[in-house]
Amino acid sequence: MTGRRLPRLALGTLALAMLVLPPATPWAQDRAVPRSSAELKLSFAPVVKRATPSVVNVYAARAVEVRNPLFDDPLFRRFFGAPGNIPREQMQRSLGSGVIVDPSGLIITNNHVVEGATEVKVSLADKREYEAEIVLKDARTDLAVLKIKEAGQDRFSAIEFGNSDELQVGDLVLAIGNPFGVGQTVTHGIVSALARTQVGITDYQFFIQTDAAINPGNSGGALVDLSGRLVGINTAIFSRSGGSQGIGFAIPAEMVKVVVSSARGGGSAVKRPWLGAKLQNVTPEIAESLGLKRNSGALVASVSANSPAARAGIKIGDVIVSIDEQTVDDQNGFEYRFGTRPLGAQARLGVIREGRETTAVVALQSAPDGPREELVIRSRSPLSGAKVGNLSPALAEELRLDPSAEGVVVLELGKGSIAQRLGFQRGDVVLAINDKRVASSKELERAVRNPNRFWEITILRGGRQVTAQFPG
C-alpha cells in the first residue's frame, strides 16, 4: 500500500476560500470563519489533548477452525496419522478501537470488532493494558460495551458526550483511532452528510458521513467535535482499495447513548421503544396515489393489536412525516429517531391521513416478551439441528420480523445440520407441519418426534408464506 502525504496548507487554503463567503449569517454566532492570519495558525492540539486519553486500542482474539485439504489425502493420512491428531483450530486476532464512556472502565466499540472473541484486551493512551469482558453486544447497531477487568481503584478518563443531532453539514470533526495498528492517530475533516440511510451496515440505517480519514483499525474509535465531545463512533468506510477514500460513516452519539445506558443499567440487551407497526418507504408511485407533494415519510403497512401504535390511533395507510417536530424522510430515519427516544416518555408523531395532517401521541415502551422456550430439534426430520423458540413482539423486534407475526421462529442452525443443508434460515417462522398448525416450540417438537415418510412444512419468510415438501 502506498501512502500519500496531504499538503500542509490544505486547512489554510480551505479557510482562505471560506473568507469570501457573504456577510454574517444567522448561524455566525456559533460558527465563524478565520478573520486574520493569526487565526489561520490555530491548532487542534487542545481538542486532541482533551479527547485522546479516552480512546483505546482493542485487541480481540477468537478461535477459528482451519481445514487443510491434505487432511483428507490417503497418502498424508498413511504417513502422518488421522486428522484428529492434527490441530484444527488457530487463534485469529483483530484490531480495533474503543472509547471510554465511564470512569469505572466502560468502553464502547463496534460489535464486529469483538464478535466471537474469546479474549479481549484494551491498551490505553498512556500504555496501560487491561483485560476486558464483553458486557453487552447489540448487532442491530453494531455496537458493543466492554468493561475493564480487575481495575482495582483505577479510574479512567471518560469522554463527554456531545449531541449528534446538533451537527451540521460542514462542521469540522476529528477521527481518533488506531488505523493499521500503527498506534493512536488523529485525522480531521468535515461532516459531509447527515442521516445517511442507504449504507447497509446495521439495522439502524442512520449515519454521519465524514471525509476525515478512517482506515482499518479505526472501527470503534471516536468522532469528536471541536469541543472534544463524542458525536459518533467510527464504523465503516466506502472504499474500492481497502483504505480511506474520503467516505467514512459513524454511528451518531444519540444511538450510542441508548446502548451505553442499557449497559450501565446492568442489562445484557438493549431496551428500545416499540411502535408495533410495520413501516415502508414512500415511493414516487405511493406518493402519487396518496396525493402527497413529496415521496418522503414512512408508510404504515400494518399495525399490531394492543400495540402502542394501535392505542395511539395509528392506522394502515398513514404516512409518518415527523417525530417530536423532527422531519422523517424514510423508514430508516423514523426507526432511528424513535429508537433513540427514552422509555417511559411519549413521542408526538406528525401523520398525514387521507391528505390531512394530524398528530398521534405514542407511549414509549419496550416490546412485551413471553416465555421463549428455546430448544434444539434432535429428532430426525427436516428441522433437525435447528434451534427454535416461541415468537413474541420482543423477539420479532429483535429479529426484524413483522410485529404481527405469530408462531415458532428459527433462532439458530447447527453447522452442517439437516435443517441448514435443506435451506432453512434464521428468522423463518414455522407455521404448520403436515397441515397441522404449530403454536409453540414444544408443539413443534412433538410434531416432528416420530419419523415420517413424507414432510410438508409451511414457513413465513420475508413476509411471504412458503410450503415445501421433503422426503422422510
Contacts of range 450-459, beta carbons closer than 8 Å, 24 or more positions apart: 450/379, 451/379, 451/380, 451/381, 452/381, 455/381, 455/382, 457/382, 457/383, 457/430, 457/432, 457/433, 458/430, 458/431, 458/432, 458/433, 459/424, 459/428, 459/429, 459/430, 459/431
CB contact set of 19 (below 8 Å; sequence gap of 6+): 33, 34, 35
Is the pLDDT confidence value at 293 over 60? yes
Residue 240 identity (one-letter amino acid)? R
pLDDT for 360 equals 95
Q: What is the pLDDT of residues 399-437, one digit of tens each?
A: 878 777 888 999 999 988 999 999 999 999 999 999 899
Provide, rounded to the nearest whole percent, the portion of the chain with pLDDT above 70: 81
3-state secondary structure of 319: strand
Contact residues for 187 (Cβ-Cβ < 8 A; gap 6+): 174, 175, 212, 213, 214
Contact 410, 426 (CB under 8 A): yes
Cα–Cα distance for residue pair 207/225, rounded to 1 Å: 16
C-alpha grid cell, residue 274: 416499540
Complete domains list, the chain, with CATH: 51-148 (2.40.10.10), 164-264 (2.40.10.10), 277-363 (2.30.42.10), 375-471 (2.30.42.10)
Question: What's the pLDDT tens digit per position in 46-102?
Answer: 899 999 999 999 998 877 665 555 555 555 555 555 555 555 566 667 788 999 999
Question: 151-170: b or e for each residue (b if 16 or more CB lie within 10 Å)?
Answer: beeeebebbeebebeebeee
**pLDDT on residue 82:** 54
The reported pLDDT for the residue numbered 417 is 92
Distances (CA, A) of 78 to 69, 74, 85, 206: 15, 6, 12, 57
pLDDT the model gives residue 13 = 38
Contacts 24+ apart (CB under 8 A), 9-17: 11/188, 12/40, 15/39, 15/40, 16/40
- Supply angle C-alpha 89, 91, 94, rounded to 5: 145
Q: How confident is the model at residue 116 (pLDDT cuts 50, 70, 90)?
A: confident
The whole-chain average pLDDT of the chain stands at: 82
Residue 214's pLDDT is what?
76
- CA distances from residue 353 to 19, 320, 337 in whole angstroms, order as listed: 47, 9, 21
Number of H helices, E strands in the chain: 12, 25
Q: Which residues are marked as active site?
A: 112, 142, 219
The H or E element containing residue 45 is helix 45-51
Q: Which residues contact 257 (CB under 8 A, 6 or more apart)?
A: 161, 340
